[in-house]
Chain A
Amino acid sequence: MATTIDAPILSQDPVIAGDPPGISAWPRNIWKFCKRKPLGAFGGFVIVLMLVAAVFVDGAIVGVNKPLLAPSGYNEQHIRRAQVDQGPSLSHIMGTDELGRDIFSRILYGARISVIIGFSSVIIAAAVSLAFGTISGYYGGWFDIIVQRIVDIILSIPAIILLLFALTVFAARAGPYTRMFWIILIVGFLISFASVRVIRGAAISAANNQYVDAARTIGASNMRIVFRHIVPNVIPVVIVLSTVQLGTAILAEATISFLGYGIPSPFPSWGAMLNLSGSAQFRIQPLQAVWPGVAIALTVYAFNMFGDALRDVLDPRLRGGR
């Protein structure tokens, strides 16, 4: 009898089912994802490139005190042989800017700033919206009503107006690092307002499952139900939302930096490299205006495509939304 039960289980084993032995499930799943969602895979590839650039642009994060990927520092000026406003060349593959700084290096350092701001603000947004969305959806009542009204209020003021307003109020005289902290905080909170609603909806639909009733019947506490049954159901939604919102957060930082309210010079934010006041400068070397824009657009596109593909894989119910 034991053999008849074992046999079908063994034949389902991936190693015996014809795959070369020794390959774990991970690479195969990634390969399947690439084949089914080529655009999503492209997005994932760009994201990996960006993360590599952000971590290894110089040795500061891995603990080596020397440049790694970037040919020169972000504020290092090459002004000896009139190397200002140059087009692409072998020594500066994207050319130099008006101060003779290597644009390729600045783009790589810009990836680090985008990654720091994007990920930090999205982590804040995910935590805040998970907490408020779940409580609001599961418990309902007056807490839900108040949270929903506050979301209504914040969402009726355009994000850019709130952002610029809040930055001039709270960070008018802040140094670069304090300013970065405020940008992360404000962008994170603004994004969380948009996702509280979605997460609340997911929490409500999770609470309607029969196993939640069953858990309540056997006497599980609300705490236990929330953490064992509601939150695990909401997490895929949070992951998908966060991926797309990484693009949104990076775009938001670039926009305010473009308008001159973001990370101040000489720090190489992609948005600041396109700054409004510098647009006369670009007439001398128009390619200077191309690189940072391509970097921003590619990043936002990558996060959107990867998020879309992730949504189809993780949570098919969300498909077909706007």
Chain B
Amino acid sequence: MRPYIIKRLLLSIPTLIGVSLIVFFMVRAIPGDVVQQISGDAPVTPEFRAQVQQDLGLDKPAYEQYVYWLGNSLRLDFGTSLRDRQSITHRLKNTLPVTLEMAILALLVSLIIAIPIGMISAMRQDSVVDYVSRSVAIGFLAVPTFWLGTMIIVYSSVWFTKATPQAQAYQQFWENPYQNLKFLLFPFGYFIPVGPAVILGVSLSGTVMRLMRAQMLEVLRQDYVRTAWAKGLQERRVVVGHALKNALIPVITVIGLQIPIIVGGSVIVESIFNVPGMGQWFFQAIGFRDYTAVQAIALLIAVAVVISNLLVDITYAYLDPRIRYS
């Protein structure tokens, strides 16, 4: 086990370096004058030029800029925003928990939807229930998140005359858990669970449902499940007691691989529902060409993805020794 973990850790180092190189040099790849591009159509004042050059360290050679930026980023100092001169680290402290909480809620929602449906679909393979739930799963994959979100905003305002909550109404979980969960799950009233976390969860559930069904089918064919049937156990005990746990292992692990999808979805969902998280911040930063912020967010997310991939691989190797030796 230990050699595998070490090998896997070593392999992720070039990936992390590559990610930081791409995130860093993408901004330097801007054709023409970087400062002019950042200021957009507005004329460039000398003060603004000096400021941007200092923030991005444009007066030094590129490799020196990179080392300086990477060193600071490793110490969690991402510099100041090009737009409002605020500390990026400070803003991260406010926005990261929002997105993290929403991601966790979305994952829970997707599991709550996907596990029972995937399970029933596998237990009644090729029945009407199976066909319906498989079509629904692909439907969830096909319906774009941004359309679902827009429809909910539009129709809740048309039918229930509810306006979308503004970002100012958001409170962190530790300040006001009730208000916080209401914002993310039930912004348009109780019994209508159509909040941003729910939408994100629904969009994830298609993949999870398909995987859950495939795994359950696989496990239900195993010898030990046949033994359980032969012992005369009830269906409920066979499925819940014997099959479910083994079918869940890959499903839970694959959730680690969903992080890029969750982050991509959070950019959209947060922008639609005015959630003051990292996704909305990224979208605004892109709009204002606030490249120091864009770099910081992109780097942070990529690192999170690399680490979660690493954890998934190690978990798999722990659960299935064949992987370690291949």
Contact = CB atoms under 8 A, between A and B. Distances in A.
Interface of A: 39, 149-150, 152-161, 164-166, 168-170, 172, 247, 251, 254-255, 258-259, 261, 271, 274, 276, 279, 282-283, 286, 289-290, 292-293, 296-298, 300-301, 304-305, 320, 322
Nearest to A247: B142
Given A286-B155, A289-B154, A301-B138, 7 more contacts: A150-B18, A158-B260, A158-B305, A164-B267, A172-B40, A255-B144, A255-B268
B267 A161 contact: yes
Contacts of B316: none
Contacts of A259: 146, 267-268, 271, 283
A70 to B, nearest CB: 23
B147 A296 contact: yes
Range of interface residues on chain B?
Answer: 35 or more
Contacts of B301: 157-158, 161
Contacts of B272: 276, 279
B144 A296 contact: yes
B189 interface: no
A254 B306 CA distance: 28
A322 B301 CA distance: 24
Contacts of B19: 153, 156-157
A72 to B, nearest CB: 25
B150 A274 contact: yes
Given A172-B37, A283-B154, A283-B157, A322 B144 contact: no
B185 interface: no
B263 A301 contact: no
A273 B24 CA distance: 34
B300 to A, nearest CB: 11
A288 B305 CA distance: 37
A94 to B, nearest CB: 16
B286 A165 contact: yes
A156 B268 contact: no
B289 interface: yes
B286 A293 contact: no
A161 B22 CA distance: 12
A237 to B, nearest CB: 20
Provide the main secondary structure of the chain B interface.
Answer: helix
Contacts of B321: none
Interface in B144-181: 144, 146-147, 150-151, 153-155, 157-158
A164 B141 CA distance: 22
A286 B264 contact: no
Contacts of A261: 286
A229 to B, nearest CB: 26
Contact of A161 (B37, B207, B264): B264
Nearest to B307: A156
Contacts of A258: 144, 146-147, 268
Contacts of B154: 279, 282-283, 286, 289
B227 interface: no
Contacts of B155: 286
A270 to B, nearest CB: 9
A159 B143 contact: no
B139 A169 contact: no
Interface stretch (B26-34, B89-97, B98-106): B26-34
B22 A153 contact: yes
21 contacts: A149-B15, A152-B18, A156-B15, A157-B260, A158-B263, A160-B264, A161-B298, A165-B286, A168-B289, A169-B26, A169-B30, A170-B31, A172-B289, A255-B268, A283-B157, A283-B158, A290-B151, A296-B144, A300-B141, A300-B142, A304-B142
Contacts of A251: 144
A152 B29 CA distance: 21
B244 interface: no
A304 B144 CA distance: 13
Contacts of B271: 259, 276
Interface string B191-226: 000000000000000010011001000000000000
A316 B210 CA distance: 18
Q: Considering residues A153, A289, A292, A305, which has the most beta carbons from chain B within 10 angstroms of its beta carbon?
A: A153
A274 B146 contact: yes
A149 B282 CA distance: 26
Contacts of A305: 138
A161 B31 CA distance: 19
